[in-house]
Amino acid sequence: MGIIGWIVLGLLAGIVAKKIVPGGESLGVIMTTILGIGGAMLGGLLAWALGVGDPIDEFFDLSTWAAAIIGAVAILWVASMLAGRRRGGVLT
């Protein structure tokens, strides 16, 4: 998958993650894309470590999208928890 594929995958996975996890609505397009790309990398690494295979190889493969979205949700959830802790409360 080329760099354009990674950017598109990251943007779309980040948008889906923002809809799933509360507290990420204030992120802009660039941060959403970075979140999604990082999530795709994290999801792919975790899937590989668990022996599920190499899910981040084809753009139109369901496992690619599942790994990217799960990874982006995990990153956004952790970021929301850290931000909530910094503010002295839980994000709602």
Q: Mean per-residue pLDDT for 31-53?
A: 79
For residues 27 and 59, give the distance between their C-alpha atoms in angstroms, rounded to a whole number: 24
Q: Mean per-residue pLDDT for 14-28?
A: 77
For residues 1 and 49, give the distance between their C-alpha atoms in angstroms, rounded to a whole number: 20
Of residues 14 and 24, more confidence is placed in 14
| pLDDT at residue 60 in the model | 73
| pLDDT at residue 25 in the model | 63
Domain ranges in the chain? 3-83
Please, which pLDDT band fits residue 45 given cuts at 50, 70 and 90?
Answer: confident
The CA-CA-CA angle for residues 46, 65, 27, to 5°, reads 90
Q: Which amino acid is at 76?
A: L
